[in-house]
Structure 1
Amino acid sequence: MAKRAIFEEVDQAERPAAKGGVIDAARRGSRWAARAWLIVLFALVVVMIAVGGLTRLTDSGLSITEWRPVSGALPPMSDEAWEAEFELYRAIPEYELQNKGMSLSEFKVIYWWEWGHRQLGRVIGLVWALGFAWLLLSKKMPVGWTGRFALLGALGGLQGAIGWWMVSSGLTGTMLDVASYRLATHLGLAFVILSLIAWYVLSMSRPEAALLQARRDRDAALMRWGSVLIGFSLFQIVWGALVAGIDAGLWVRDWPTMHGGVFPVGMWEMEPLLRNVIDNPGTVQWFHRIWGYLLAVVIVAAWWRARRSAYRATRAAFLWLIPAVFVQMVLGIVTVLEGVPIQWAILHQFGAVVLICLAVRARHRAKYPLSQSVRA
């Protein structure tokens, strides 16, 4: 027999190397599966935001005048069905006041935009339901995440109801478009859902143990800055929806001035006074511009504070917000100067998606800093 060290256990040489158990493997797999599912949802919501923007820009949002969550999944399948849909559209104010004389072929163009928008909403709901059910039934749901994933489904259902609440505002009276504040609510909730998914993806990208360990080194002050950035960005996005809802981008087309001055013409002419903040195109665009400047200042201030972080990834996360907000401001300016062409308007909306996701990422890095070498 070979000689043994004086402190060596008798059976140490024969003991096999420790391996992860079934529970560890299942948890790793569940987080991977949940992350993949969330990424698909994230991509679908981004596409949904773009399609929704195009639906608004093409004035297609009122082409379907009924809310049929199930039967509406099928488009008109015959000439008679198309005529029936067209007849419903001809009964609303938008047709009478703006599109009177529209042909059936022209109606089909706007109908397909709105149908595609609603169909994509159904697809997102189905993807959520299938993924959620699979995680539950296969017992691969990450520990403690059932409620958070269920919240996404509840918010998605609420979003569908708000979408119809928005559309219904343009079907009566003398409305040519949906109510701007309802449009802002609809878009704002879409970005809230997107932000939650982005946060969940970042959390699912790391083991639970790593998150718990990283949380011990969180920067509470920098987390507050991240919360402020997310709140400021969401507010600016909602205000941008108000701009889109009343076509305020077409009202003032000069920059940095407005109608040649600091303030637009007739900024407070509506009665009551507070109505100007929502319905006056010049006033709405003025506030959108001012809040954009303020958001840029807050981002720079947050980055300045983040420079003191000991974590390189955290500093970089806040730094990336500076070029993002600069590009977004340039896109907004060009969109206004060019008269709100569809391509520039959609790029501006996509810039908002990038900005809010970077803000979410910055706060996540502040709460769960990435580990780095001692030398770094």
Structure 2
Amino acid sequence: MTKKRAIFEEVATDRPQAPSPRGGLIDKGSTGARGAIRIWLMVLFALVMVMIAVGGLTRLTDSGLSITEWRPLTGAIPPLNQADWEAEFAKYQQIPQFQIQNRWMELDDFKFIYWWEWGHRQLGRVIGLVWGLGFLGFLLARKIPAGWTPRLLFIGALGGLQGFVGWWMVASGLTGSMTSVASYRLATHLGLAFIILGFIAWFVFQLGRSERDLLQARRAKEDKLFRLSTGWMHFAFLQIILGALVAGIDAGRSYTDWPLMGGQVIPPNPFMLNPLWTNFFENPGLVQFIHRVSGYLLLIFGIVVWMRARKSAHEATRAAFTLAFGALVAQVVLGIVTVMTGAIWEIAIAHQVLAVILWVLILRARHLAAFPVVTSIRGARA
């Protein structure tokens, strides 16, 4: 006889239960060693930043032409005895910088500039080694997150290109009547260094958050602010290139008054060279004037971006843009001080280092405009 069921009796209680949903599927199999790779990239960033500072000091001490050959491997070994030093000095005596500008130099004077350039090149080798060992280590251990191998290879390729560009720059000052490297080649070399720094910094920002977090944050992207910050980034890069042109011909020491130049708004004889276009690269007064005006315009544009960023709904984004704008104001002030002190090396290097800091802060603000850190009403991160 069949037993009657209660109205509310469970039916088919032995039916298998559906599995509960699991989180983290976006990151599954793609995380790799994100934290370790991020630290490795931070080390590379610090080394490249030091490289830029050492390169600036090498330029300020006129040491960049002291090594007249490009030997990527054997050049790591410096002169080891008197005969080696005399051979290197003899090579230097054949180039225009010595024959026109430094005929007064003795061997001990040459050693001073040689060590600066050797240290600069050696640091480049160290950066290449750190990248190569790190990349191979993560690759062999299969710890590179999905999709990140091409990005990390790209950084290494840029580093290799930088080595070629560095020699291309040095070669411009070894023949003819040049007593220093060509300013446009110096600007290319420095510009590529900042591009490398920019990619490393962006990757560090990306790896600092999970893929799931980035995908969710992208939905809250502030398009207008992102576009403005992209323009700000490009404008800052242009100003860096103009600064390199100033450094390449020592234009920062040509006029040391401010806000005028030689008592005038526009410096005297801005187009005294022929052909006309060479004035924009080789006329110290005009090159410094363009760098100054570009700095003022960058500051004005920075104010526009900052005012727009203050309307952001995200506290971290507002703070990032405020910090970047503060660095820009400090950089403008330091630039004026650099000019008025005749670009003494201590202040000139501080100006260059602050340019790196400003560049990274603009990139960080741009990243937060693209991937905001969303917070709840109570301030907790969503």
Gaps of 5+ in 1: 1-5
Q: CA deviation at 1:50?
A: 0.2
Query: 1:204-283 alignment to 2 at 5 Å?
Result: 204-283=207-286
> If the length of structure 2 is used for normalisation, what is the TM-score?
0.92
Match of 2:74 in 1: 71
Cα shift readout 1:14-72 (whole Å, capped 9, x = no counterpart): x9xx8989x85x75551011101100000000000000000000000000000000100
Match of 1:84 in 2: 87
Match of 1:320, SS?
Answer: helix
Q: Are residue 316 (structure 1) and residue 319 (structure 2) matched?
A: yes
Between the aligned partners of 1:293 and 1:247, the Cα distance in structure 2 is 21
Cα shift readout 1:2-21 (whole Å, capped 9, x = no counterpart): xxxx89x8899xx9xx8989
Between the aligned partners of 2:332 and 2:167, the Cα distance in structure 1 is 31
Residue 10 to residue 289, structure 1, CA distance change in 2 (3 Å): farther
Alignment check: 8 A CA contact 1:303 1:318 kept: yes
Cα shift readout 1:125-158 (whole Å, capped 9, x = no counterpart): 1111111111111010011111111110111011
Match of 2:364, SS?
Answer: helix
Between the aligned partners of 2:365 and 2:229, the Cα distance in structure 1 is 6
Larger Rg, first or second structure (1 or 2): 2
Gaps of 5+ in 2: 1-9
Q: Are residue 141 (structure 1) and residue 158 (structure 2) matched?
A: no
Runs of 4+ in 1 over 2 A off after TM superposition: 9-12, 18-21, 26-29
Between the aligned partners of 1:159 and 1:240, the Cα distance in structure 2 is 19
Match of 2:171 in 1: 168
Between the aligned partners of 1:79 and 1:274, the Cα distance in structure 2 is 47
Q: CA deviation at 1:261?
A: 1.0
Query: 1:91-102 alignment to 2 at 5 Å?
Result: 91-102=94-105
Cα shift readout 1:256-315 (whole Å, capped 9, x = no counterpart): 001111000111111222211111000000000000001111111011111221111111
Alignment check: 8 A CA contact 2:218 2:370 kept: yes
Q: Counterpart of 2:339 in structure 1: which amino acid?
A: V
Q: Are residue 362 (structure 1) and residue 365 (structure 2) matched?
A: yes
Residue 10 to residue 78, structure 1, CA distance change in 2 (3 Å): farther
Residue 90 to residue 10, structure 1, CA distance change in 2 (3 Å): farther
Q: Are residue 340 (structure 1) and residue 360 (structure 2) matched?
A: no
Match of 2:356, SS?
Answer: helix
Residue 79 to residue 319, structure 1, CA distance change in 2 (3 Å): same
Q: CA deviation at 1:374?
A: 2.4
Alignment check: 8 A CA contact 1:215 1:369 kept: yes
Match of 1:61 in 2: 64
> If the length of structure 1 is used for normalisation, what is the TM-score?
0.93
Match of 2:356 in 1: 353
Q: Which shows bigger deviation, 238-247 or 26-35?
A: 26-35
Q: How many residues align?
A: 369
Between the aligned partners of 1:110 and 1:240, the Cα distance in structure 2 is 23
Match of 1:198 in 2: 201
Alignment check: 8 A CA contact 1:199 1:360 kept: yes
Q: Are residue 326 (structure 1) and residue 343 (structure 2) matched?
A: no
Between the aligned partners of 1:67 and 1:304, the Cα distance in structure 2 is 49
% of aligned pairs identical?
56
